[in-house]
Amino acid sequence: MTQPGIWKRIKDEIALWRIGALPGIAVMALVIILRLIGSMQSLEWLAFDSFLSLRPSEPIEERILIVGINEDDIRSVGSYSIPDREIAVMLRKLQSLEPRIIGIDIFQNLPVEPGYRELVSTLKGIKNLIGIEKILYDKIDPPPALPPEKVGFADKITDFDGNLRRSLLLLGSTPQSYKLSLTLCLAQAYLAHEGISLENGIRDRAALRFGNTELPRVLSNSGGYVRTDASGFQVLLNFRSGRERFRTITLGDLKTGNFDPNWIRDRIVIIGITAPSVKDFVTTSAITSTKPASGQVYGVEIQAHAVSQIISAVLDSRPLLNTWSDPWEYLWIISWGMFGIALPRLTKYPFRNFIAVGIATTSLIFMSYLLLIWGWWVPVMPAMLVLAFNSLGLTALYEYDQALQSKIKARQAIIERTFETIHNGPLQTLAKTLKYIREQTLPPNELLPELEKELENLNDELRGVYGYLQQEPLTQDNNLYLGRGIELNMQDPIHEILYQVYSHTLERDFPSFKTIKVKVRSFDPIDDRNLSIEQKQGLCRFLEEALCNVGRHAVEVTRLEVTCYYKEGCYTLSIIDNGVGIKSSKEGRGTQQMRNLAQKLKGKFSRSTVSPHGTLCELSWPASRFRLW
Give the ranges where 238-277 is alpha helix by DSSP (H): 251-256
DSSP letter string, 546-604: HHHHHHHH-TT--EEEEEEEEETTEEEEEEEE-S---------HHHHHHHHHHHHTT-E
Write the CB contacts of 368 (distance below 8 Å, at least 6 apart in sequence). 47, 51, 378, 380, 383
257 Rama sector, left if φ>0, alpha if ψ -120 to 50, beta otherwise: left
Closest-CA residue to 382 (of 29, 52, 35): 35
Closest-CA residue to 223 (of 9, 410, 368, 361): 368
Q: Strand 233-236 and strand 166-171: pairing?
A: antiparallel
Is the torsion defined by CA of 565, 566, 568, 573 positive or negative? positive
Write the CB contacts of 162 (distance below 8 Å, at least 6 apart in sequence). 283
List, in sequence order, every beta strand (DSSP E) within 185-229: 198-200, 208-210, 213-215
Q: Distance between CA atoms of 486 and 262, rounded to whole angstroms?
A: 81
Closest-CA residue to 575 (of 591, 563, 588): 563
Question: In the prediction, which pLDDT does 348 show?
Answer: 72
Closest-CA residue to 593 (of 432, 420, 431, 465): 420
pLDDT < 50 stretches in the chain: 1-3, 401, 474-475, 625-629
CA dist list (Å): 447 to 76, 438, 553, 569: 95, 11, 19, 50
Question: In the prediction, which pLDDT does 1 show?
Answer: 40
Write the CB contacts of 263 (distance below 8 Å, at least 6 apart in sequence). 62, 65, 247, 249
Write the CB contacts of 386 (distance below 8 Å, at least 6 apart in sequence). 27, 28, 31, 333, 334, 336, 337, 340
Closest-CA residue to 335 (of 309, 375, 306, 363): 363
Question: In the prediction, which pLDDT does 175 show?
Answer: 59
3-state secondary structure of 609: strand
66 forms beta bridges with 248, 270
CB 344 within 8 A of CB 391: yes
Q: Distance between CA atoms of 8 and 532, rounded to whole angstroms?
A: 45
CA atoms within 13 A on the CB side of 532: 11
Question: Which amino acid appears at position 516 of this protein?
Answer: I
Question: In the prediction, which pLDDT does 624 show?
Answer: 67
Q: Distance between CA atoms of 562 and 557, rounded to whole angstroms?
A: 14
List, in sequence order, every beta strand (DSSP E) within 202-336: 208-210, 213-215, 233-236, 246-250, 268-273, 281-283, 296-298, 322-323
DSSP letter string, 452-512: HHHHHHHHHHHHHHHHHHTS-HHHHHHEEEEETTEEEETTS-HHHHHHHHHHHHHTS--GG
3-state secondary structure of 153: strand
First to last CA, the chain: 50
152 forms beta bridges with 132
- What is this structure's pTM? 0.63
CB 341 within 8 A of CB 24: yes
DSSP run (H or E) holding 202: none
Question: In the prediction, which pLDDT does 186 show?
Answer: 96
Our CA angle for 430, 435, 436, nearest 5°, is 100
Question: In the prediction, which pLDDT does 302 show?
Answer: 94
List, in sequence order, every beta strand (DSSP E) within 108-176: 129-133, 151-153, 166-171
Q: Distance between CA atoms of 216 and 235, rounded to whole angstroms?
A: 6
Question: In the prediction, which pLDDT does 411 show?
Answer: 66
Q: Strand 570-577 and strand 615-622: pairing?
A: antiparallel
Give the ranges where 37-104 is alpha helix by DSSP (H): 41-53, 71-77, 84-96
Q: Distance between CA atoms of 124 and 138, rounded to whole angstroms?
A: 27
Our CA angle for 27, 30, 31, nearest 5°, is 85
Question: Which amino acid appears at position 169 of this protein?
Answer: L
Q: Distance between CA atoms of 254 and 104, rounded to whole angstroms?
A: 15
CB 198 within 8 A of CB 208: yes
